[in-house]
Amino acid sequence: MKFNRRRFITVLTVAVGLGAAGLYHSYGPAADPVARPVDPRGPLSDSERSAIEIFERVSPSVVQVAARGAANPFINDDVLGSSGTGFVWDTNGHVVTNDHVVQNASVVAVRFSSGEVAQADVVGLAPNYDLAVLRVRNPKRLPPPVAIGSSAELKVGQAAYAIGNPFGLDQSLTSGIISALKRRLPTSGGREIANVIQTDAAINPGNSGGPLLDSAGRLIGVTTAIISPSGSNAGIGFAIPVDVVNRIVPQLIHSGRVPTPGIGIVAANETVATRFGVEGVIVVRTAPGSPAERGGLRGVDAATGTLGDVIVEINGKPVRRLTDLTDEIELTGVGRTVRLSVRRGSQTRAVEMEVIDISRS
């Protein structure tokens, strides 16, 4: 049969028209629009109830911290000021935040979850721990302090919650897990914070100084830094462990500063120790008049590049890296004595020396 193109198109057009007409008439006239009924939901999961309870209980005690060198602390200007997070520490109006949030500030203010804004004074700074304590001036009503937990008992994989003000978006809750423990974090004070908590709970600029909480709503750390090529959350955030915070903050409240325990040495970094195949802390030089100098420690011979002393043990504990040494010195405290095992060449000797506050020397 010869194909008749005109007849085919006519038939097709009629068929489509009939189909469309049938389709239209099958629905009938449009009904008045009405809202669809709401389907009832089941009960919240245990994890949802836990997160809600933590936020409702702790968030009133989390504040926005703004610092400036001018009169108005709430102008959003990264050059003239900084903004972060803090939390209520005690019933005396003390708020804990990061040192880098308020350093060099002449004006500091806090905003509570209620919307109340109050001026605050800097009570003390600890750059070596990236911690600062503020005191709020005449708050109308102070929220309860955040409950304190312990970082010594933490396990990788347990839940972690962060409350803060990322990008100025106040009262934001993020959750995740503890990704790692015993990280080391350099600070602006030139030292390292040991046993730092790593978490994948979203931490962004503005979260600094906020609380990291466990599933009981207890403080386990103070959020302080992220690793991110873009500057935003990449799933690697860090928090100062609460056991350090609970040791440093009372000292800042009492005296406004924290002693820096030491013995008066300049140590080589771990890369140098690895290059020499040394396990321990290489003494580069000793400070004049320091306990290390008085104890006879010898640094590297600059003329020949020959190693001097290597500290391999402190108070009976092995020293494999600098934090092994500094952690034990800090635990010993200023005014007390540490026992060192020092290797020079093939000989190892024991020496005792006093721990001093090297920030005053």
Query: How far is the first Cα of the chain from the last one, in angstroms, to the nearest whole number?
Result: 110
Task: Find residue 105's DSSP bridge partners.
Answer: none
Q: What is the dihedral of CA 46, 47, 53, 54, to 10 degrees?
A: 150
Active site residue 208: yes
Please identify which of the residues 99, 130, 214, 243 carries the catalytic annotation: 130
Which of 208, 214, 290, 309 is catalytic? The answer is 208
| Cα 21 to Cα 16, 17, 30, 101, distances in angstroms | 9, 6, 15, 69
Report helix, strand and coil shares of the chain as percent, to nearest 5.
25, 35, 40
| CA neighbours closer than 13 Å in the CB half-sphere of residue 61 | 27
Catalytic pick among 100, 151, 172, 214: 100
Distance in angstroms (rounded) separating the CA atoms of residues 222 and 200: 14
Alpha carbons 157 and 250: distance in angstroms, whole number: 30
**Tokens encoding 269:** 């970094």
For 59-88, letters b (16+ CB in 10 Å) and e give: bbbbbbbbbbeeeebeeeeeeebbbbbbbb
Residue 21 in tokens = 């007409």
- Contact status, residue 99 vs residue 120, Cβ threshold 8 Å: no
Distances from the Cα of 357 to the Cα of 260, 311, 325, angstroms: 5, 20, 15
Of the candidates 215, 241, 239, 85, the one whose C-alpha atom is nearest the C-alpha of residue 161 is 215
Hey, which residues are catalytic here?
A: 100, 130, 208
